[in-house]
Structure 1
Amino acid sequence: MATFPDLLHSIQAGQRTLTRAEARTALREMLTGETSDAEIAELLTVLARRGETVEELTGFAETMRELAIPVPLTDQERSLLIDTCGTGGDDRGTFNISTGAALVAAAAGAKVAKHGNRAVTSKCGSADVLEALGIAVALPPELAVESLRAAGFMFLYAPALHPTMKRVLPVRRALGFRTIFNLAGPLTNPAGAPAQIMGVFAPDRVSLVAETMLHLGVRHAFVVHGSDGLDELTITGASHVAEVRGDEASWRASYVHPEDAGLSRASLSELAGGATAAENAATLERIFAGEKGPKRDIVLLNAAAALVAGRIATDLREGAERAAEAIDSGAARKTVTKLRMFAEKV
């Protein structure tokens, strides 16, 4: 078996890429072996400059999944899960769209296992805004499962459930650019959610992630990138989308427009987030209280895709209608209230 230095040397020369098995070996050595920070930095740099392959991304994601803390669910519960975790890093300064969509989807009947973290490059990550809403983000796996059963939503805090990733965190911070982990992280839901809507930070990563999802056994997913640069389905124009169907072992590229869900277009400035987690939490609370406008609409669009992937809705229009009903009926606010109760149990 090739050693980490052997694998690093082989790709430094630019002669080849890593196989799936080699990528698995390389990451396991990085996380649990004797590799130096300099070696880790060099491998991540080579992959980022050249561009990661499906085999490499699959190998990294598989190993991260294997090393994650398990979440105690029944097979039936696991089969119903949907995640809305994306790559982040789109630098567009919007509010927490995917987190809002996850809560609305849960209120509309989906079983959401939201994988996420605190802010890295943005002002407010999913964990930050949930905490500002009064929702505990670092629940032990057993309590997270209780919240899923009670409210249809659980938050899976990445640092707590991927403890081995601490080894590479200083290197990633020192490098200061996106690495393969920005793509692999959202593909490693610790609860094994088979359905997902995943935003990516660049259009050329849509097909890469879609193909990787097929290798990872995803059942139904949407990989999305807005024409305005958002790592979400956007309402400012078209979104580049790959719909992944694991049961058909295929994915299909298309464009989604807000009109497909019966929604109106808006400008990017109308989707701007606040300067703090508290401001973004207040935005979500206003949406859940029934405030109309572009921010509500983009949450509806992304919740709609989650509901389609999670088999709650047949298409985006029905999904948006179900999401709107979840807000207008008060179900979204009730979901937040139920989740707040778990903060008292920590």
Structure 2
Amino acid sequence: MLRDASPASDACWRRWCADLLRADRLGPGELADWWTVISRFDPVLGRYAARPVPVPEGAVVVAGSGKEQFKTFNVSTAAAILAAATGTPVIKGISRSVSAVSGAADILDVLGIRPVSCPAAIPQTLQRHGIAFVAYPIFCPRYAARYDGVFDTLNPASFFMPVAAMCVRASGFVLGLAHRDVTLAAAALRRIRPDLAAGAVASTELSPGEMVDEYGDGGAARLARVAGGMITTGTRQGIAPTDGWRRAIAHRPTHDGNAALVTESLAPGGETPATRLVELNAALVLTASATGLDIDDAVDRVGHARRSGRAMRLLTALTNLR
């Protein structure tokens, strides 16, 4: 199916993936086998997987599965900037929109922020700005060309590829997953990328079957943490998602509108549903770094970075590089 890009092959690929998810036939070993096949199919990915790009100590890979049932604005993009404003080096994977209005790459276009041009530029970009936006195809050009446009719903690769394909020797990772089984993704990534010593996989279920790929303060938030070779998993029940709360964090109908909400969520001032959601996810990034922070201390730190204006100063600096 990877080598046959015909419409019939695409349809077969989608059916097979849907059947695997429905039948609960996936485990860490099966997902690791997928990674092996994909990295052999794409020789560029295979080379970078064998020798990940070195990056500063404490750097964290941030990525999301997308393909949510409820479409939020670009929370992980804002959270990555906010985490970087605290001094945590962040590598943020980006792509164009697939199932929502705006992907991270679409938001960066509006804001005038340039992603790195090649993997070799990532360390220098982190040293200069504390954050590097990285389009997935620069690490896996052949696979990205084959995968692009085939899936608009979650599939088995969503459990590992957004992080695994960011072939940097980071300290940790944060993956937002629009699926309940965060433990499966954490176990797969521990096997596929053992060099990522710490990390978290997060999802939130706003109502039965209504998933978002963020760690939310509304609904049932699930979190699987990887640390010291172990995985711990927990669920936190947040506020009941009201109509007003949903409207506040929902994606807007245009790229400009979503970029504006990203900017607003980083601005100094009082709390809003959008700022709380961004701060919670930025705090996860800090806990995946080499800081030793717990989630409460991390929330305090990212909140101060927003209220003090550090996040907006970083955003302004990034947009002035166009």
Select 2:173's aligned residue among 171, 176, 196.
Answer: 196
Q: Are the equivalent residues in 2 in contact too, given 1:83–1:115 (CA < 8 A)?
A: yes
Q: Hey, what's the Cα distance between the residues in 1 that align with 2:269 and 2:217?
A: 17
Aligned twin of 1:297: 276
Gaps in structure 2 of 5+ consecutive residues: none
Select 1:81's aligned residue among 50, 59, 62.
Answer: 59
> 1:97-138 deviations in whole A, cap 9, x for unaligned?
111110000001111001121110000111111221210135
SS at match of 2:124: helix
Select 2:158's aligned residue among 182, 198, 212.
Answer: 182
Q: Are the equivalent residues in 2 in contact too, given 1:304–1:319 (CA < 8 A)?
A: yes
Matched, 1:169 2:143: no
Taking the TM superposition and a 5 Å limit, the aligned residue runs for 1:1-346 are: 31=2, 35=4, 37=6, 38=8, 41-42=11-12, 45-51=15-21, 52-62=26-36, 64=38, 67-68=44-45, 70=48, 75=54, 77=55, 79-137=57-115, 139-169=117-147, 172-173=150-151, 177-188=153-164, 189-203=166-180, 205-216=181-192, 217=194, 218-228=196-206, 229-245=211-227, 247=228, 249-256=229-236, 267-292=245-270, 293-312=272-291, 314-343=293-322
Q: Are the equivalent residues in 2 in contact too, given 1:199–1:232 (CA < 8 A)?
A: yes
Q: Are the equivalent residues in 2 in contact too, given 1:60–1:184 (CA < 8 A)?
A: no
Cα distance change, pair 290–214 in 1 and its aligned pair in 2 (3 A): same
Amino acid at match of 2:154: R
Percent identical: 24
> 1:72-114 deviations in whole A, cap 9, x for unaligned?
9874x35422122010111312111111110000001111001
Structure number with bigger Rg: 1
Shift of the alpha carbon at 1:326?
A: 1.2
SS at match of 1:253: strand
SS at match of 2:212: coil
Cα distance change, pair 44–91 in 1 and its aligned pair in 2 (3 A): closer
Q: Hey, what's the Cα distance between the residues in 2 that align with 1:105 and 1:244?
A: 19
SS at match of 1:84: strand
SS at match of 2:63: coil
Amino acid at match of 1:270: A
Q: Hey, what's the Cα distance between the residues in 2 that align with 1:287 and 1:39?
A: 42
Higher mean C-alpha deviation, range 105-114 or range 331-340: 331-340
Q: Are the equivalent residues in 2 in contact too, given 1:150–1:338 (CA < 8 A)?
A: no
Gaps in structure 1 of 5+ consecutive residues: 1-29, 260-265
Amino acid at match of 2:155: T
TM-score, normalised to structure 1's length? 0.77
Shift of the alpha carbon at 1:179?
A: 2.5
Cα distance change, pair 177–88 in 1 and its aligned pair in 2 (3 A): closer
Q: Hey, what's the Cα distance between the residues in 2 that align with 1:108 and 1:136?
A: 21
Q: Are the equivalent residues in 1 in contact too, given 2:76–2:281 (CA < 8 A)?
A: yes
Cα distance change, pair 194–47 in 1 and its aligned pair in 2 (3 A): farther
Amino acid at match of 1:178: L
Q: Hey, what's the Cα distance between the residues in 1 that align with 2:284 and 2:96?
A: 24
SS at match of 1:332: helix
Q: How many residues are treated as equivalent by the alignment?
A: 300
Q: Hey, what's the Cα distance between the residues in 2 that align with 1:122 and 1:201?
A: 13
Whose helix proportion is higher, 1 or 2? 1
Q: Hey, what's the Cα distance between the residues in 2 that align with 1:199 and 1:336?
A: 22
Q: Are the equivalent residues in 2 in contact too, given 1:200–1:206 (CA < 8 A)?
A: yes
Q: Hey, what's the Cα distance between the residues in 2 that align with 1:141 and 1:74?
A: 7
Q: Hey, what's the Cα distance between the residues in 2 that align with 1:143 and 1:302?
A: 26
SS at match of 2:157: helix
Q: Are the equivalent residues in 2 in contact too, given 1:40–1:171 (CA < 8 A)?
A: no
Amino acid at match of 2:28: V
Whose strand proportion is higher, 1 or 2? 2
> 1:158-189 deviations in whole A, cap 9, x for unaligned?
1333211145236725xx54332333321321
Q: Hey, what's the Cα distance between the residues in 1 that align with 2:300 and 2:78?
A: 16
